[in-house]
Chain A
Amino acid sequence: MAQARKFELTDDSVVVIVGTGAGGGVLANELAQKGVKVVALEAGGRYLPEDYINDEWESFGQLAWTDPRTTSGDWRVAKDFAGLPAWIVKAVGGTSIHWAGASLRFQEHEWKARTTYGAVEGASLLDWPLDHAEMAPWYDKAEAKLGVSGVGGRPRLPGSNNYKVLEKGALALGYKEVHTGNMAINSVEYDDRISCQQTGFCFQGCKWGAKWSAAYTDIPRGEATGNLEVRDHAHVARILHDDKGKVTGVEYFDKDGQLQMQKARLVCVAGNSYESPRLLLNSASSMFPDGLGNASGQVGRNYMRHTTGSVYGVFEKPVRMWRGTTMAGIIRDEARHDPSRGFVGGYEFETLSLGIPFMAAFLDPGSWGREFTTALDSYENMAGMWIVGEDMPQADNRVTLSETKDAHGLPVANVNFSDHPNDIAMRNHAYAQGQAIYRAVGATRTLPTPPYPSTHNLGTNRMSEKPDDGVVNKWGRSHQVENLYISDGSQFTTGAAENPTLTIVALAIRQADHIANEMSAGNI
């Protein structure tokens, strides 16, 4: 790779992007490819496939965001993992290193959740200011970038043992849409990356590079243009503005803990649904007393994490679910909106496995004794699936600033979350169906497992047609501050039933196009 470009701290012509994951990393590359100068600031370090570790706890220590966070609300994570509400990554490439690769488009009706579902008591549902037709070409580009299997002429992945158990049970129950998914994991060599070697450890970073991650695709390609500088170990503390309310740059702590100031023509925030609102709130000033871009009071609100849970089944004979691609298996029949089931929205079943160390930590946190250990004793004979469904946005499920401070003295994010009755009804339905799937294949025991620390963190800077209802417009542009953008999953208006990364990538590609056009037109 050519030596990446360096930009001056005083260069006020650059676009500053905060965060380098699926949103920020893709946006950085897409802008760089269009000739836009970009400085991307990443709080974590830089790790590549050769650095990733096939060991759950060791990898967690390498990649996970373990800076302090606090929690509240009635979700079980707040009790069992009070300081770890999310399992996400702090590294160049962000959580695109950790994600499992499931790449599903939203269903058409999910862009219009409020219209489709109607008013749901206690929920702050809203339609996206976007729709299916508008997003279709951006999804096409995102799928081509990620090399998604099962679309674009690319074959699906082969089914693992864990998939075969899921498939047989699903078909026995009469489910129709059952396959190995649409995965950003190469089924054949694609885009200079080899095909999946069925290694497992998808969550620990793909050592083959068969799974798409911004860490080793978009980031180095953006750097190769000479238009992108990525500064790692750069923790952004505050976004600065002038007396006209326009953003002028950011203050960040560099790798030595020194406070630096980078000037900017515009700032795009892509730090995940905890860090992005935290940064806006920590950027409060006399002009923006409630936080930057927070005239609506919506910054931090409507935090969504998908209605999740897992079901494990124990069988008479070995399954060895850890072998092979972790999440290449899906049942989509329950993803439809069908209120006759007792809830609005839908959910997916996807294959999942954890190794023994994480299974011990997450199967039933806090429990002990033989009920727990006999389940682990049958680990080799276990199959696993994950439930991922649309959860209801609620105004009080929100990120606020905590009393706790981080190593730089900045207030950390407090994450308050409580399930909506719709979430509970959906999860219970999924538990029952998931257990029935495994029983249909002869499971001797089934384990409806509680949600893990969140991996799908959404909302908190949501997109809205009207400025009063959200934080950003249909381009991810702040309703209040014209040269401030949100470029990650925090801009999601609603969560849909699908794993969010493909949509985050599609929105980032689309946003890059918009920003480049606005810059050319002199509008920013």
Chain B
Amino acid sequence: MTGLSKQGLTRRALLSRAAALGALTVVGAGFIAAPDAAWAVEVTSISEQEMATLVQMARDIYPHDRIGDRFYAIAVKAYDAEDKKAMVSEGIAALNEAAKQAGFDSYVAAGWEADRVAILRSVQDTPFFQTVRGGLVTGLYNQKEIWPLFGYEGESFSQGGYINRGFDDIDWL
């Protein structure tokens, strides 16, 4: 769970300091957390708001309702870096500007996914969007922890393959 931390703040402390930001919660002091404080991500270079925006963007780009925000947070955690800071800041500013044009206070302030997706479509040809989307292809889908949610079983050699484990067990044809 690289990049995620449950240390430093108690669940109660997190909740008491929370300020809602989209689906996520900014808890100040360099942390953003799930609203139930089940996990938190620490940011050092970019702002909490920017990280929360990136997590929302990641979910709206590749929405899987059975995949928790923590996996999206892991997928975008690498943007919390000094050499990414300017790109993230400019990209999110442009995204929020597009949101304002569409009549929302900001991108994450748009409550419906369809509205946020429309905002994203308006910026989808920008290098910022393409960088984030491209990075998610491996950043999200190469996390072994989410594979079971798709039914995918991963490595099989160590278990002797599927010769005795259902390579031909289809029963509904």
Contact = CB atoms under 8 A, between A and B. Distances in A.
A201 B163 CA distance: 13
A407 B168 CA distance: 47
A197 B152 contact: no
Interface in B22-76: 60-64, 66
A380 B163 contact: no
B138 A357 contact: yes
Most buried by B among A165, A316, A360, A368: A368
A317 B63 contact: no
B8 interface: no
B160 A356 contact: no
A377 B155 contact: no
A323 B133 contact: no
A409 interface: no
Contact of B170 (A165, A198, A372): A165
A369 B63 contact: yes
Contacts, number: 114
Contacts of A355: 152, 154
Contacts of A376: 64, 141, 150
Nearest to B66: A377
B7 interface: no
Interface residues on B, range: 35 or more
B80 to A, nearest CB: 22
A451 to B, nearest CB: 18
A207 interface: yes
Contact of A441 (B124, B140, B173): B173
Contacts of A359: 141
A322 B153 contact: yes
A361 interface: yes
B156 A356 contact: no
A325 B162 CA distance: 9
A369 B166 contact: no
B112 interface: no
A159 B168 contact: yes
Contact of B162 (A159, A200, A319, A377): A200
A108 interface: no
Interface in A12-43: none
A402 interface: no
Main secondary structure of the interface of B (DSSP, over half): loop
A320 B133 CA distance: 27
A116 interface: no
Interface string A333-367: 00000000000000000000001110111000010
Most buried by B among A164, A168, A323, A441: A323
A380 B151 CA distance: 5
Interface in B84-119: 117
B162 A380 contact: no
A325 B138 CA distance: 25
Nearest to A169: B173
Given A199-B156, A357-B138, A380-B152, A372 B162 contact: no
B61 A369 contact: yes
A356 B141 CA distance: 7
19 contacts: A54-B157, A158-B167, A161-B167, A165-B170, A197-B163, A200-B156, A200-B161, A208-B157, A316-B172, A317-B172, A320-B170, A324-B161, A324-B167, A356-B147, A357-B138, A368-B61, A368-B133, A377-B66, A377-B150
Given A55-B154, A361-B137, A361-B138, 7 more contacts: A54-B154, A57-B142, A323-B165, A357-B138, A360-B141, A368-B62, A370-B63
Interface of A: 54-55, 57, 158-161, 164-165, 168, 196-201, 207-208, 316-320, 322-325, 355-357, 359-361, 366, 368-370, 372-373, 376-377, 379-380, 441
Closest 9 A/B residue pairs (Cβ) = A380-B151, A199-B161, A197-B161, A324-B167, A360-B141, A198-B167, A54-B155, A323-B162, A161-B170
